[in-house]
Structure 1
């Protein structure tokens, strides 16, 4: 089972920031690092989890309403537990990919929201700048994944908390693997998915005992904040 660092090391540095990604990259047992992306108003890709800046920057502005230059003007507030980090900016996707490439970690890119599907072609162009980098693209939006599958053969994963027969069919037909919430993991379901040839990821697991149970079930990838 391969471990993936969820938004870097969010317990030790602000999530989805350069320091958080570097801390994760320096740990040998992580196979990959996960990030979240949005498109900006002027067609760039930035790494951020929420659709507005309130949680990380104490500003209600919507990230997709801003240009890259406007986004770079904001500073991320580190919070009480990690005060040593201050003045951090919201990274571009390319900065995240540089870290993954330098430390030989798989880049797990979750597409949160983009302005239109054609921007996925631009996303692939950014990724193609790192030809030796292993990349997995994940999303809760099946339409994004279907569009990407028509463009590229890289690994894709559909994120979901509830898995229906229709979803399983869609994933099988489009060669998309499945990433499910830990609460949805049932031995019978995992056995079925493995039999049908899927690679299976689980999110977000922070308990060692539970992680061991998932490993015994044959889970392929496990996303964690701290394990």
Structure 2
């Protein structure tokens, strides 16, 4: 499988979990594949291991992407790090598919000059968010990161620690006036399920000073509708 090229005008495209239609999701291989393409950003998911390390994987457990099924946040980093991940590329003999660290991911985004779109999975303790911010700042790439989370508390803590951080509230719920008021209050943008959006809603969000990202669109016709609505970003597994 390859990516599907479309004319996305000025809309910024984000590679969901890296170029996940080409390589195993959330691996260095997927991030590098996205880096070598036209994407504006590379999205991934960060968890905290049992021993307090940052590791990149989407699910709370490893069974979907690895042979062993472990609870990520109840397992030490060293065990997770050595766990081979399933190869979705169809190649043979791969030994490079492991869960990346946060700094490995940031390093790839920096090398390929891509915006890092980092999802804070689950509710993360305030001090760990501060540690994450410090790690990214030490890599000299903080201004090129967009933080996203379904947990508003994560983003509120982030904004307290680093008021200038770019952050988007993830949602699959109806976007009503109350939600928009909260986004404005905490200076957050939105990353919404694509089916929630309409031209009128995108205009309302823009009129409120809120940028609009959406997930996860893999259909070219649907993407064209979103582009016509005027969304700012589209997160995708396979469109480019």
Instruction: Name the TM-score class by shorter chain.
Output: over 0.9
SS in structure 1 opposite 2:213? strand
Offset, 1:116: 2.1
The question of whether the paired residues in 2 share the 8 Å contact of 1:77 and 1:86 is answered with no
- TM-score normalised to the size of structure 2? 0.89
* Residue of structure 2 equivalent to 1:86: 94
* Residue of structure 1 equivalent to 2:153: 143
SS in structure 2 opposite 1:30? coil
SS in structure 2 opposite 1:113? coil
Larger RCO: Structure 1 or Structure 2 (Cα < 8 Å, ≥ 6 residues apart)?
2
* Residue of structure 2 equivalent to 1:167: 179
Cα distance between partner residues in 2 of 1:45 and 1:114: 14
Identify if the C-alpha distance between structure 1 residues 147 and 21 changes in structure 2 by more than 3 Å, giving closer, same or farther.
same
The question of whether the paired residues in 2 share the 8 Å contact of 1:39 and 1:114 is answered with no
* Residue of structure 1 equivalent to 2:222: 210
Task: State the superposition RMSD in angstroms.
Answer: 1.4
The question of whether the paired residues in 2 share the 8 Å contact of 1:13 and 1:82 is answered with no
Cα distance between partner residues in 1 of 2:60 and 2:145: 23
* Residue of structure 1 equivalent to 2:108: 99
Offset, 1:132: 4.2
The question of whether the paired residues in 1 share the 8 Å contact of 2:124 and 2:154 is answered with no
- TM-score normalised to the size of structure 1? 0.94
After superposition, what is the alpha-carbon deviation per residue over 1:38-88, rounded to whole angstroms, capped at 9, x for unaligned?
Answer: 011111111100000111112221000111111112110114x53346332
SS in structure 2 opposite 1:136? strand
In structure 2, the gaps of 5 or more residues are: 1-10
After superposition, what is the alpha-carbon deviation per residue over 1:5-45, rounded to whole angstroms, capped at 9, x for unaligned?
Answer: 01111111100001111000001x21110001101111111
In structure 1, the gaps of 5 or more residues are: none
After superposition, what is the alpha-carbon deviation per residue over 1:138-178, rounded to whole angstroms, capped at 9, x for unaligned?
Answer: 00010000010111111100000112322221111000101
Counterpart among 8, 24, 42 of residue 18 in structure 2? 8
* Residue of structure 1 equivalent to 2:74: 65
Cα distance between partner residues in 2 of 1:143 and 1:114: 8
